[in-house]
């Protein structure tokens, strides 16, 4: 069968697409924002306060891109619904939603309070659900769209002190499958990435601690943490037509952790 498909990097282009990115002012969000804009997207930058993304928007505009800014606390479901309405009104369309906002409060299970539990669930899980629900009629009316969720390797491989966070990320990976299945007939693709530890302030308690840092390097087959830019390729792939036959999937970005262990390690010479 002969078809006219874009060749090379053209299939990763986001030209003409409006992308709404939550948590855009964060370490990973800001790198994704610059990259999605560089691929041609008109980008809506959301964070808990608009001031967190104004500088980023100016930078993207100075580089020739188009960026709009939104401030909203996504722990409120009403704010999630309003954000989608505001972004649709300002951008005229939402072709891609990237759910990147997230929080963690590291504590042993015995110390987790109901407030900790609710706060983490509200941003990491409930907001992803209701932002997606709110964008569904918009994408359906447009004839399709793409949702990319920033889940975590902790969805399938936990560490101590992150029990609630890991549960919310497992929920994000699960919702990715459920939403993909339910909305496939509307032309909406839903996928996620599951990064291991990325070197950001969020994970400073790990890499800033000499003992934990060495432990994690030894634990990871690639011998180091990920850098934020190492998530870009997968997100652009999932956001763009390059992944047009991919839905309900999780891409792990984890330096080989799930590939297995080295049984010769620590055996001496």
Ligand X SMILES: NC(=O)c1ccc[n+]([C@@H]2O[C@H](COP(=O)([O-])OP(=O)(O)OC[C@H]3O[C@@H](n4cnc5c(N)ncnc54)[C@H](O)[C@@H]3O)[C@@H](O)[C@H]2O)c1
Residues near ligand X, by CB under 6 A? 23, 25-29, 47-48, 52, 73-75, 100-103, 123, 150, 152, 195, 197-198, 200-203
CB of 114 to ligand X, least distance (A): 17
- Whether the CA torsion 32, 38, 40, 44 is positive or negative: it is positive
**Contact call for residues 148 and 235 (beta carbons, < 8 A):** yes
In the set 157, 165, 237, 245, the catalytic residue is 165
95 versus 152: smaller Cβ distance to ligand X: 152
29 versus 145: smaller Cβ distance to ligand X: 29
139 versus 155: smaller Cβ distance to ligand X: 155
29 versus 65: smaller Cβ distance to ligand X: 29
CB of 55 to ligand X, least distance (A): 13
Whole-number Å distance between alpha carbons of 174 and 216: 27
Coil/strand/helix, residue 13: coil
How big, in percent rounded to 5, are the helix, strand and coil portions of the chain? 50, 15, 35
13 versus 77: smaller Cβ distance to ligand X: 77
CB of 140 to ligand X, least distance (A): 25
CB of 171 to ligand X, least distance (A): 12
CB of 88 to ligand X, least distance (A): 18
Residue (of 151, 153, 250) closest to 196 by Cα position: 153
Whole-number Å distance between alpha carbons of 5 and 201: 41
As given in the structure block, the two tokens for residue 61 are: 């505009």
Q: Cβ neighbours of residue 24 under 8 Å, at least 6 residues apart?
A: 30, 32, 33, 43, 45, 46, 47, 52, 53, 56, 100
Cα Rg of the chain, angstroms: 19
**Contact call for residues 197 and 207 (beta carbons, < 8 A):** yes
157 is catalytic: no
Q: Which residues are catalytic?
A: 165
């Amino acid at each position: 069968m002969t078809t006219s498909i874009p060749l090379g990097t053209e299939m990763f282009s986001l030209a003409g697409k409006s992308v709404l990115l939550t948590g855009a002012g964060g370490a990973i969000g800001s790198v994704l924002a610059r990259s999605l804009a560089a691929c041609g997207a008109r980008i809506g930058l959301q964070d808990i306060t608009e001031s967190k993304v104004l500088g980023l928007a100016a930078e993207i505009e100075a580089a020739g891109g188009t960026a709009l800014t939104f401030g909203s606390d996504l722990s409120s479901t009403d704010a999630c619904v309003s954000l989608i309405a505001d972004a649709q009104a300002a951008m005229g369309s939402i072709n891609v939603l990237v759910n990147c906002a997230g929080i963690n409060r590291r504590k042993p299970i015995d110390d987790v309070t109901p407030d900790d539990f609710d706060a983490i669930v509200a941003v990491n899980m409930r907001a992803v659900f209701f932002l997606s629900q709110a964008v569904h009629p918009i994408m359906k009316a447009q004839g399709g769209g793409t949702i990319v969720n920033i889940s975590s390797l902790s969805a399938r491989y936990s560490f101590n002190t992150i029990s609630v966070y890991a549960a919310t990320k497992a929920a994000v990976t699960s919702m990715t499958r459920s939403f993909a299945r339910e909305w496939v007939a509307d032309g909406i693709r839903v996928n996620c990435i599951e990064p291991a530890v990325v070197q950001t302030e969020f994970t400073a308690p790990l890499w800033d601690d000499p003992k934990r840092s060495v432990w994690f390097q030894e634990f990871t087959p690639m011998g180091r943490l990920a850098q934020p830019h190492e998530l870009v390729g997968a997100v652009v792939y999932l956001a763009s037509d390059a992944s047009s036959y991919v839905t309900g999937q999780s891409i792990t970005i984890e330096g080989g952790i799930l590939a297995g262990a080295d049984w010769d390690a620590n055996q001496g010479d």
